Structure formats: C-alpha cells, structure tokens
Structure 1
C-alpha cells in the first residue's frame, strides 16, 4: 500500500472514531471510478462547461414556471429580493458541497456523504431521499410534458396516453451510461430555456408589494425556495468531471445564469400578465403563445426528466456494482441492471403522476423534506464535519477548537443547517395544508383520467 492510500485509510479511521475500517469503508476510500485507463466505459469525461450546462438544464426547468405567480402573491420587490438572496445562498452552499467533494473524492452521491458523516443509517436515509426526490421530479416533468403535448395537439389524445409517450421519451434519453452524452443535450436544453416568450395582457395589475399572512407568503415563496433545488445531483456530476477541482467554475456559471434568468423571467412575465398570472405561468398566455412557449419548453422537460432518471438509476447502479467489472465493462449483467433501473425510475414516475390526484402537492412535500436539506441545510453539516476533523486545505486543528478559530464560518454553517430545517418544516406544513384544503373543497380529481 502506498503512502497516499495509507494516509487516506488513516483519515477514514480517524473519522470513524478510531474504529476498525469496515469492508464498506474500504470500498469508499478511493475515487469512485478510479483509474479508467483500458476500461470500456469511461465516466470521467466532463469539462466544467458541460457540467455547467447540465446544472442549468437540471435547475432552470419546472421551477421557473411558478415564479411569476409567487411574485403576484407578494409583489415585485419582496419576490426579487428573495430570488436574489436564495441564488447567493445556493452559491454558498454549492461551495461547501464542492469543498466536501474535493476533500472526499470517494463520495459519489449524497448517500456516500451521509455514510461518512452519520454512518450506515445516514447513508440509507440520504440515498433513499435522493432517489425518491429524483423520481418525483421526473413525475412532475413528465406531467408538464403531457400538458405541453395536450396543448400542442389540441387534446388529440387522452392525457394518459400523452403521459406514457413523454415517459418513453424520457426513458430513452436517460439510457447513456455516462453523463457526457447527456451533457450535449443539456447544452441544447440550456439554449431552449431562454427562448420562452410572452405577450402583454390588457388591463393587467402590477404592484410592488402585497400584504399577506405567513401561510400565504410561504406558499408563494416555495417556488423561489425550491427553484434552486438541484444540489443533490452535484456529487454525481462532479464525479464524472475530468478535473473535479474546476467544479466551482460550473457552480458560478449556474448560479449566475439561474439567478439572473429567474429574476428577469419572473419580472417580465408578471409585468406582462399582471396579478392574474397562473401557476404554471404558461397557462396565462394567449393560445398561440402557450403553444410557442410549450414547444420550446418541451425540450427542456424531456432532457431534465432524463437527467433525473439517470441520476436515480446511477445512484443505485454504482451502489450495486462499485468496484466490480460491471461498472466499467459492457457486461450483460451490467446493461440489464442499468436498463432495469432506468425503466423502474421512469415507470414509477409515470404511475405516480397518473395515479395520484394530489401528485403536485406530494412533489411539494418531497421537496420540503429532501430538497430543503440537499440544497441548503446539509451543506452546513459538510463544513462543520470537515472542520471538526481537521480535513481540508484550510483546516485549523481539530475538534471544537477548530470551530472556535473559524467562528465566522462556523456560525454561517450553523445558520445554514437551521435555514434548511426551517424550510423543511414550513414547506411540509404548507404542502400538507394544501392537500387538506383540496380534499375539503372537493378539488381532488380522479386517477388515470383523460
């Protein structure tokens, strides 16, 4: 064993409170994909530019369609302040996530990070949460894609048939084993994001601020809060970069583009349509503009759905075959498992979207439970953990003394954890109340309807 490997194992032993390294720990010591020379399937092929394109595709999709409605609920000024603040906050948490990944190259997904910090239970909770959130995100996207096809074809077919068509397209797009091929689609999607349009509505009302209560205000701001919810994919993306140390370049491009685009998009749509803007905003446009915008948006819905499907499948696939030939070689068992995982993720999303009348509200609950932590709160734990154990280039000692020496960052990390907890609790409360209100008012539809 060389010095580097020995040092890494010693670090893992220290992290685990001096307990012997388990077999599972040893599997997580090295870079997940290792030295790929001579392998049939090479994963570490992404440049930071392509990763930025994938990040933009993944984050700037469905979330933006709710932002104008949020602006109508609270007014232009509060909504803009919140959108910009959350964009800066998401950039900060992305930096903490990237630093954690660079300090722990063995981390491939949130489950691996959970294992390092919280042991086997943390791994299972964060892994399962990632898969659940990804599947529900796919469901939301295929449902939006179904709405797009319904509008574009003037209800030519049953909505359930359109849902299946979109799901099949998402499944096929998710099949490449590496993210390099999906990244080129991501570039295409990022371009199409900026092509959506709108036209002014006569007699519209536009206001700077709107008085409201906590429930209505938080209901409105869930859109901006979760519009940035995509950090749970970042570990997987960075793991397939040629130079993981360039990951922050991609994060800067993502947050700069996303924050600017969100602010401009929400203001333009709100100013053009006014306080009657719906959620999603596209349904507030005239019929011809709805079709034009949905035509461009459909590309993004399909590619983002494929990326989330790929993410759910990749997490499980690496968990099953890490350290085996099936990960890097074209084996029948490896491909059968990959196809089955992609099919399971996309099919589950389709069934949930079609069978659960309150699916949109359930997406809100999953976002509150998981995205609030993956995007915001857990990043604070990343910093606190590494600082406590003296890991990283800027480490200053170990234990509580290390936190005291960097008290400013420790306070920010603690506040980040509390912010994630608040978003989780408040978001879950709002989502559950929406479901209760929908049942009480008889607004819940039936499953598998056209």
Structure 2
C-alpha cells in the first residue's frame, strides 16, 4: 500500500480489537512517548493534556450536535419518515465504527495531531498539505455556518430590528472570545453550557411543536424521488455526524488517550438517539412542509424560546471549529519549540493573530459570499465526507498492511478488510454525490435568481 511508513517503535498488542499496548516493558503511556504531539509536560508552564474523557465527550457533543440537527425534520419530509430514520440510525452506527478506527489510529500514532499529520503518514508531504488545508477550510466554513445560525437566532429574537450583518458581527465577537484560550480544558465550562444549550433547545422545540402543532400526523411514511433530490435531503443527516475532523486534536489533549473511545461512544449514543427523537417528534407535529431549520416552523413564542436556548451552542460550536483551525497552524509552526509550552511573546502573538484571522475570514465568508451555504456544502462534500467516513478505512488498511504482514494481513481479516474497503468507497460516494447535488442546487438557485446579495440587511 502506497504511503509513508511512520518512524515509530514497533507496535505490540491485540489484533486491533482493543486499545493498543505500546512498549509496556518501559512503562510508557502513549501520551508520554517521545514522538507524542506535546511530549512530557510535567515542568511546562502551559499544559495541554488535561482533558478527562467525560469532558472530551461533552466537547464532542457540543461541537457535533448543533445547528445541523435543526434540518433533520425537513430531511424526513423529503424522503419519508421510515427511510429518514433508517438513514440517521445507520449513519450513527457507521460514524461510531469510523470513530473507533480514528481512535485506534491515533493510539498507534501519538505524533498525529490533526488530519494533516495523518495525511503525511498515508500519502506523504502532499497528503499532509491537502488534508491540513481541508481541515482549516472546513473548520472556517463550519464556523461561518454557525455565525449565520446565530444571526438568524438574533434576528428572530429581535423581530429583525437590526441589520443582519450587524447581528453577524456581534455573534462573531462572541465566537472569537470563546476561541481564544490556547488549551481546550480552559473552555470546559463553556462546553458544558454549549452542550446543555442545544439539548435544551431541542427538547423545548419538541414541547413547543406538541403544544402548538401545525399539521399533526400529516407526514409521509416513504416518498419516492429522483437521485438528486433524495441525496440533497440526505446530506443533512450525513453531515450532522461530520465532526470527526477534530477528533485527533481533541484526543491529543486528553490525559489518557486510551479513554477516547468512551467519549466517542457517549457522543454517538447521545447524538443518534437525540437526532431520531428530535426529527420524528418535530416532523410528526409540524407535518408536511416543515422548514429548515425546523425552529422556524414553530409558533412565534416557542420559536423564540428555542432559538434563545440554542444561541450559546451556536457560538461555542463555532469557536471550537475556529480554535481547531488556529491550533492546527499553531502546532504546525511551533511543534517541539518553547513557544508551545511557555508564555512567550512570540507564541501568544502568533496565537492571537491566528484567532483573529480565522474569525475574520469566517465572518467575511458568511456575510460576504452570496453562495456561502453552497460553499459549505461543497467543503463538506470534499473534506468532511473523507474525514468522517472514507479516510478511517484507509487508516486501517495502511496500518494493517505495514504492521500485520502486508497484503496477507488484509486477507487474513476478511470481515475487517471488507468493512474498510466499503468505508473508503462510502467516503468517495458521499464526496462525489454531495458535490453533484450541491453544484446542481447552486445552478438551480442561480437560474431562479434566488441567491442573496452580499452583506445584506
């Protein structure tokens, strides 16, 4: 299998069915290995590896269960209740499997801090640059999407009494403040607030839909449609799980990376069950024609309450995306230098510049590009489809080839080999299908004159 063979100690342990054991005779924890991202931190001023697995789980929930959830009821309306629920449940199970593959890969390669580092192992320097750039682009686009969600929420709450661009600017300031701390643990309080925020907003929205129903029970069990329409609708649940691109960065700051799968299990159980409950209940009570986001279909009072509760999650999730983008570049510039772990003028100066830069770009993209929503779809198709799905299979294929006997290592494990080939192909299918559907939608919107002007009020 083509790619760069990582220069690290030989891996010992199980047949990749559990957490890998690394150099047990030396008593080294994986996070203390010489090639670990942050190394030993006992005597450092700034310590990164401070996250417990429950906090990591909360972080993942806050980052992934966000405004994308609000489009799921409309996806059920487009394809039907039963197919929609099946897709959400399947993608939840699939995302759990790929999360496990990512965690295992990270434990075998403690030097991996982000998707760019993983790309270097698989494809060499070119892969590193492509996957690093993709991570930054997708993180900025995701944050821009959160800024627009915050803008919509503030517009609804104020009855549009202020220019939408002004609301976006106000929201971007909040995002920038939350993305500024260099250590993820320093954001632990706001993560908890963000996680509670979106769960509460979803519960209140379901209560509001039931209290003031629009067209209860008028739903479609299954709807036949052409490929393009169906795929466009299904991109909502596909990318509702597309937070895997941040997993390596999160795990790198855990006290015990071996516990990462506990956090991933917690995330996927909470996300999948909540997605299904929210989509089904909301769709049932609102009925056909439910809006995207679905909060717009609620009565005015319940819509305002739900949006108000969701606002903290929008800017906190946006800040996590931009923190991820800034952290990738920062670690790339200063890895193994004193600026990583010390309060130096250069370190803090560069960090501040990066945070301001990514926040400014996210704001300008969100309010200044008329096709920004389509740009997010293109970025998600090009990168998130691979980060959340396809690349996980490539990680297993790579390491099994290099550490388990080459091609024979693949064929001795036919079930895992088949599953991981399917994972790679699924990533490619989502990527190509998503690009086609997004570009088709963009063309149709342009032909219909539906694209909004930049910096609109």
Shorter-chain TM-score above 0.5: yes
The alignment partner of 2:449 has SS state of: coil
Further displaced range: 301-310 or 179-188: 179-188
Aligned to 1:103: 108
- Deviation by residue 1:410-430 (Cα, 9 ceiling, x = unmatched): 111111000000000000000
The alignment partner of 2:124 has SS state of: helix
Residue 29 of structure 1 deviates from its aligned partner by: 6.5
Residue 437 of structure 1 deviates from its aligned partner by: 0.4
Aligned to 1:272: 285
Answering whether residue 36 of structure 2 is matched by residue 36 of structure 1, we say: no
The alignment partner of 1:195 has SS state of: helix
The structure 1 residue matched to 2:238, chosen from 225, 229, 235, is 225
Answering whether residue 365 of structure 2 is matched by residue 360 of structure 1, we say: no
The alignment partner of 1:36 has SS state of: coil
Where in structure 1 do 4 or more consecutive aligned residues deviate above 4 Å? 7-12
Aligned to 1:203: 215
Q: TM-score by structure 2 length?
A: 0.91
Aligned to 2:444: 437
Q: Which runs of 5+ in 2 are unaligned?
A: 1-5, 12-32
Residue 8 of structure 1 deviates from its aligned partner by: 5.4
The alignment partner of 1:389 has SS state of: helix
CA distance in 1, matches of 2:163, 2:379: 28
- Deviation by residue 1:212-251 (Cα, 9 ceiling, x = unmatched): 1111111110001110000000000000000000000000
Answering whether residue 424 of structure 2 is matched by residue 411 of structure 1, we say: no
The answer to whether the Cα contact below 8 Å between 1:361 and 1:435 also exists between their aligned partners in 2 is: yes
Residue 201 of structure 1 deviates from its aligned partner by: 2.7
Aligned to 2:396: 383
Aligned to 1:393: none
CA distance in 2, matches of 1:181, 1:301: 18
- Deviation by residue 1:317-360 (Cα, 9 ceiling, x = unmatched): 00000010000000111001111111111110100111111111
Residue 404 of structure 1 deviates from its aligned partner by: 1.1
Aligned to 1:21: none
The structure 2 residue matched to 1:351, chosen from 346, 361, 364, is 364
Aligned to 1:47: 52
The answer to whether the Cα contact below 8 Å between 1:50 and 1:184 also exists between their aligned partners in 2 is: no
Q: Which runs of 5+ in 1 are unaligned?
A: 1-6, 13-27, 391-396
CA distance in 2, matches of 1:115, 1:183: 31
The answer to whether the Cα contact below 8 Å between 1:111 and 1:123 also exists between their aligned partners in 2 is: yes
Aligned to 1:308: 321
**Is the alpha carbon distance of 1:132 and 1:327 closer, same or farther for their aligned partners in structure 2, counting shifts above 3 Å?**
same
Aligned pair count reads: 423
- Deviation by residue 1:191-225 (Cα, 9 ceiling, x = unmatched): 12221223243434212111211111111100011
Aligned to 2:154: 149
CA distance in 2, matches of 1:328, 1:303: 25
